[in-house]
């Protein structure tokens, strides 16, 4: 490979990694807002469990599904980037650490957090 081609490839991998990490950070912020916002909306409405609680729970499940898909696929993209690092950066300490991340554990953790939040919302919103 030419040096120019290798440099372009390294830039592409670095840029995509940064974009996915940024997107993952925004997803985590959205998960936090979702986890706290739904019960706050319910209590602010002053409704007992009934149609309002059921509607918010359905909305919570839909939002949770969208957030789970976005975080799960972002972890998958980061894993794919880690496994295909170009030679120019694959021997760096950061790259070895990036490749050794426990990707399955991240996916399991995101899934467990989403299920926990939905169960918590069900308890709060459905009474």
Highest mean pLDDT among 4-8, 11-15, 65-69: 65-69
**Per-domain residue ranges of the chain:** 3-126
The C-alpha atoms of residue 40 and residue 42 are separated, in whole angstroms, by 5
**Closest of 120, 117, 127, 124 to residue 41, by C-alpha:** 124
The C-alpha atoms of residue 69 and residue 120 are separated, in whole angstroms, by 19
The C-alpha atoms of residue 1 and residue 8 are separated, in whole angstroms, by 11
pLDDT tens, position by position, 41-98: 777 777 666 787 888 889 999 999 999 999 999 999 999 988 888 877 888 888 888 8
Q: DSSP letters along 27-60, please?
A: HHHHHHHHHHHHHHHHHHHT--SSHHHHHHHHHH
Q: What is the pLDDT of residue 87?
A: 77
Instruction: Tell me: pLDDT of 5 over 80.
Output: no
The C-alpha atoms of residue 27 and residue 78 are separated, in whole angstroms, by 14
């Amino acid at each position: 490979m030419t040096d120019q081609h290798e440099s372009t490839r390294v830039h592409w991998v670095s840029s995509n990694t940064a974009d996915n990490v940024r997107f993952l950070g925004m997803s985590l912020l959205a998960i936090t807002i979702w986890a706290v916002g739904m019960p706050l909306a319910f209590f602010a409405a002053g409704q007992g469990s009934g149609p309002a609680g059921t509607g918010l729970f359905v909305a919570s499940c839909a939002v949770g599904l969208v957030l789970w898909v976005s975080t799960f696929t972002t972890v998958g993209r980061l894993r794919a980037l880690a496994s295909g690092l170009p030679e120019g950066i694959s021997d760096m300490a950061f790259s070895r650490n990036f490749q050794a991340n426990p990707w399955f554990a991240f996916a399991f953790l995101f899934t467990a957090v989403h299920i926990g939040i939905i169960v918590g919302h069900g308890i709060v919103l459905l009474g």
